[in-house]
Amino acid sequence: MRIEAIDLFCGIGGLTYGLKTAGITVLAGLDNDNSCEYAYKNNNKVKFICEDVAGYDFKAMKKMYSKDSIKILAGCAPCQTFSSHTFKVKNREKDIRWNMIEHFLRGIKTIEPDIISMENVRGITKTQVFFDFVKQVEKMHYKVSYEVVNCADYGIPQNRNRLVFLASKLGDISTPQKTHTKDNHVSINKLLNHCPH
């Protein structure tokens, strides 16, 4: 069965590239930063929608999916508000970037994808905004799983902790098993050692 995805807050398309590498058809990426368009389109050969998610009509996006496909809606909302650097700043919940999670939720309610994928900084797990988001997704009868993972445990040469949120209408879902341990983490030196220098 055909698996199709749309990438919200796509930037230059790192997530889109990963989805395509996994054999998933990416229909479009959406971002309000037009400086991302050239890199996104040239690296991924995927439609780039330059619009602000806050005013976007998700009914139009829903029509992009094939009728019988497995539909994925993926997104990594701007995370500066939730980062460890700014987490202790007063009035952070008044930051307009909190609303991006709400607009992502609006997209979910309109599109009703089979699978939802969201990645963000780990600090978001300490916020009421995140727990409200989880409750709303669960109310729509999704099976939900989320975990803070270290990217190094998946072969990436960087110790970087990120939240991975997954939800599915198709049954239970969870983050993939780790591929690496501390004993065999990939270093930058190991990754680039074969390159000429």
Q: What is the pTM of this model?
A: 0.88
Which of the residues are catalytic? Answer: 79
The predicted pLDDT at position 12 comes to 97
Quick one: DSSP state of residue 85? T
Phi, psi of 39 (to 5 degrees): -65, -40
Per-residue pLDDT of the chain (197 residues; tens, 9 = 90+): 999 999 999 999 999 999 999 999 999 999 999 999 999 999 999 999 999 999 899 999 999 999 999 999 999 887 655 555 454 554 545 554 457 899 999 999 999 999 999 999 998 998 898 999 999 999 999 999 999 999 999 999 999 999 999 999 999 999 999 999 998 999 888 888 878 86
What CATH number labels 3-192? 3.40.50.150
Report the C-alpha gap between 150 and 189 in whole angstroms.
19
What pLDDT score was predicted for residue 78?
78
What's residue 30's pLDDT?
98
pLDDT of residue 189: 86
Phi/psi zone of residue 19: left (φ > 0), alpha (ψ -120 to 50 degrees), beta? Answer: alpha
**What is residue 168's predicted lDDT score, i.e. its pLDDT?**
99
Record the tokens describing residue 48, joined without a space: 């780039």
Distance CA 13, CA 30 (A): 10
The pLDDT, as a whole number, for residue 192 is: 85
Place of tokens 């008044």: 94
Q: Give the list of residues 6+ apart from residue 148 with CB closer than 8 angstroms, or none.
A: 122, 125, 161, 162, 163, 164
